[in-house]
Amino acid sequence: MRFHRYGMALGTALFVTVPPAFADNYTLTLFHTNDLHGRTDQYPHLITTLNEARETYGEGLLLEAGDIFSGTLYFTEFQGQDALEFMNLMGYDAFVPGNHEFDLGDPKEGHQALAAFFAGAEFPILGANLDFSAGPEFADMLGESISADPQAGQLYDGIVVEHNGEPIGIFGLSTQDSETISSPGHVTISDYRQAAEAMVASFEEQGVNKIIALTHLGYDSDPSVGNDLLLAEHVEGIDIIIGGHSHSQVSPPRLLSESRAGEELPSPTVIGQAGEYGQHLGVMQVTFDEDGVVVDASGELLAADDREADSDAAQRLEAYTAKIETLRDTLIGAKAISALPNPRHGSGDEQSVRANETALGNLITDAQLHAAQQVAPETVMAIQNSGGIREAIERGDVSVGDLIAVQPFGNRLTLLDVTGAELLETFEIALANAPDENGGFLQVSAGVELVYDSGEPPGERVISLKIAREGAMQAVDPERTYTIATNNFTAAGGDSHTVLGEAYADGRNTIVGNTDWEMLRDYMVERKEVFYQVEGRITDVAQEVVAREDVAREDVAQENVAQEDVAQGDSE
């Protein structure tokens, strides 16, 4: 029986046109989404798109590949409960948590918002490499490893659903990236390939030969933590991969039959992903032969914004939108005298918040330092992972919505006691990718001077790190212990800051509790008018050399032009 949100069996007719060559075979239809990231206002358009797709392609399984949480005021205000109403309305058959589902993890309270999301879900949650058993908030949700009778809101490694008379095995995989880019806490994440191999073996032992991996690994993401292409290449027996995490538009679905080395795989695998933010609904049709081997695949991404919003869903959305608009539009009582940009290389900017000091980064860290020194006056600096700075602040009056858009994750102020040696090593980690982007690049508060050379090998880039003490700039002493401030995500080792994570795990931390955007608000309100700019807190000598060379080349070019003009004048 196909799992459905109402707990009812659906009709088994599958209205698809089967090519004559495959007339005796079986065709499975899938609809899929991923990486909504709090874009709740997309659901009314997605619902219309899904209804049209079902009319065109017939009934199929509906799968969500993770990252419903984080990214907008909708999520900040409702913590996923808004999205859940629409997901239940759509009738998802399975969901795998993404890394952002763990963003609200709290060292003491665990994952209360995520547990509430699961509890209200009218679909099962899958994660073969996720272990929730250490979290008491999930105790009543732990199902068996593989269930042929999956229940709403229960956690499984995998499930078996019947579709058009055929048993379909579906299991979930989530990225181990979550250990560094989110806050899984007591939720542990194991090797994705080992988990996948175990699931395929379990399904095959039960006679299931049509197997779907619902993944939040990324289509072609960092191979050191795994991706869908590597999964297809290395784990035999997976017929279909429905993915998320890399925000890739895989259209049409990719039928992978060869390895990267050009060797034929034992059996082909179809891979699909539907981009990001609910902009598309993925459609996939996969045809199997009588032995359960994929023989054909097709599909497309349907643009949700090209469809009118479903009227019922639009009406349901109104209450959510009204509440966040009120929150968004509330002015905090402070003004930005000049714009505070948030540049990114991918947007065509020469500078990037993830590779350079920015005025906004300076403001945020100063606000953190100010808040920290209210409770710990000995705090010498604040640092902010640049991956946690998401939007710019425009010139003029500043609203709550502006600040939450800048820092949407609700991270809390944390104090850490670290040695100077650990601090220097932390900045080596932060600078490892420079001058390329890195979410772990650290913005620093006033009174800090960091000089480095991105031309040197990673781990050997810091030239000097100085802090203001006793009225003068002093070099950080490797033997001395310093109190620094940051957010709880970075303090616990987020964005690969393992040195800080070890100090945190060692008990050298104090969570003060001030929420990031609220600290920024209070700091700005206290000053009423805020003017910030880049002021040389962070200097890359390699880039300074490049800049000087560019100026010199420009001067030479202009001199050559002038000489040519003089020569031409003489000839006339």
pLDDT band at 512 (very low <50, low <70, confident <90, very high): confident
Task: Report domain extents, the chain.
Answer: 41-72+81-319, 331-542
Lookup: tokens for 402: 């502006």
pLDDT tens-digit profile of 54-84? 999 999 999 999 999 987 889 989 999 999 9
Residues 6+ apart with CB under 8 A from 349: 341, 343
Class for domain 41-72+81-319, per CATH?
Answer: alpha beta
d(CA 71, CA 341): 18
d(CA 492, CA 418): 13
pLDDT value, residue 45: 98
pLDDT tens-digit profile of 380-414? 999 999 999 999 999 999 999 999 999 988 788 99
| CA within 13 Å, CB half, 452 | 29
More confident residue, 460 or 563: 460
pLDDT tens-digit profile of 218-232? 999 888 889 999 999
Class for domain 331-542, per CATH?
Answer: alpha beta
pLDDT value, residue 15: 30
pLDDT tens-digit profile of 262-311? 888 899 999 999 999 999 999 999 999 999 999 999 999 999 999 999 99
Does position 347 have pLDDT exceeding 90, yes or no? no
Does position 6 have pLDDT exceeding 60, yes or no? no
pLDDT band at 568 (very low <50, low <70, confident <90, very high): low
pLDDT tens-digit profile of 258-275? 887 788 889 999 999 999
pLDDT value, residue 563: 64
Q: Average pLDDT of 445-468?
A: 98
**Phi/psi at 53 (5° precision):** -65, -40
**Phi/psi at 496 (5° precision):** 70, 15
pLDDT band at 327 (very low <50, low <70, confident <90, very high): confident
pLDDT value, residue 9: 27
pLDDT value, residue 457: 97
pLDDT value, residue 21: 44
**What's the mean per-residue pLDDT of the chain?**
91
| CA within 13 Å, CB half, 78 | 24
Per-residue DSSP letter, 217: S
Does position 19 have pLDDT exceeding 50, yes or no? no
- Run of H or E residues at 270: strand 264-274
Lookup: tokens for 321: 């939108």
Lookup: tokens for 148: 């042929």
Q: Is 284 helix (H, G, I), strand (E, B) or coil?
A: strand
pLDDT value, residue 13: 30
Q: How crowded is residue 58: how many other Cβ atoms within 10 Å of its Cβ?
A: 16
Q: Is 130 helix (H, G, I), strand (E, B) or coil?
A: strand
